[in-house]
Amino acid sequence: MKTSEAELPRRVLDGEIAQILRLGVELRANCRIHDRESLDELCRAFDVVLLACGAVPGEQLTAWGLKATRRGLVVDRETFQTDRQGMFAAGSVIRGKSMVVRSAADGKEVAACIGQYLRGEKVRAPENHSRRGWGASLRRR
């Protein structure tokens, strides 16, 4: 379902994005990952990569060199880390189809984990981490 201008005014969204960019975050929206080589290139270019790309077929995840179940990408259930150094994932890519509100909650939690990672800290589950929404096929690494 598309969000209306009344629900989220464009100026508010643009302001939030601008604030994030002022912090030094580089956003690469609509970045196509065709194969493992293009994913490797993306990982070399950044300290952290967050896959928040919607549901992806398991065979595509495997082609990228990532572990997958029939529902989605395998990540640590508490930290959203993949088995690849510096790569995190959240939302439908880890669960298959899921509710937008769950993906948004993942975004908040994974941001805390990425912050820990970038500060060189041990990455742990955020204080208010919710395990709800995890499918049975997702396992701890």
Annotate 57-89 with DSSP letters as a single string: -HHHHHHTT--B-SSSB---TTT-B-SSTTEEE
Residue 77 lies in a domain: yes
Query: What is the tens place of the pLDDT at every residue in 36-92?
Result: 999 999 999 999 999 988 899 999 999 999 999 988 999 999 999 999 999 999 999
| Structural domain includes residue 57 | yes
Which of 23, 34, 102, 90 minimizes the C-alpha distance to 65? 34
Q: Is residue 21 part of a domain?
A: no
Which tens digits make up the pLDDT trace of 113-134?
A: 999 999 999 999 988 766 554 4
- 55-66 per-position pLDDT tens digit: 999 999 999 999
Task: Give the per-residue pLDDT at 130.
Answer: 62
Q: Tell me if 12 is assigned to some domain.
A: no
Take residue 75 and report the two structure tokens written for it: 């990540």
Q: Give the model's pLDDT for residue 24.
A: 86
End-to-end alpha carbon distance in the chain: 33
- Residue 58's domain is classified under what CATH number? 3.50.50.60
Q: How many CB atoms lie within 10 A of CB 24?
A: 6
* Res 140: pLDDT: 47
Predicted confidence (pLDDT) per residue in 13-29, tens digit: 889 889 988 988 888 87
Question: Does residue 123 sit within a domain?
Answer: no
Residues 6+ away with beta carbon under 8 Å from 120: none
Task: Judge whether 134 lies within some domain.
Answer: no
2 assigned to some structural domain = no
Is there a contact between 25 and 18 (Cβ–Cβ < 8 Å)? no
* pTM score over 0.85: no
Assigned domain for 25 exists: no
Q: Which domain holds residue 68?
A: 32-118
Binned at pLDDT 50, 70 and 90, residue 136 comes out as very low
- Residue 109 confidence (pLDDT): 93
Residues forming beta bridges with residue 49, ordered by sequence position: 87
Report pLDDT digits (tens) over 92-105: 999 887 777 888 88
How many domains does the chain fold into? Answer: 1
Q: Which residue, chain included where needed, has tokens 């908040």?
A: 108
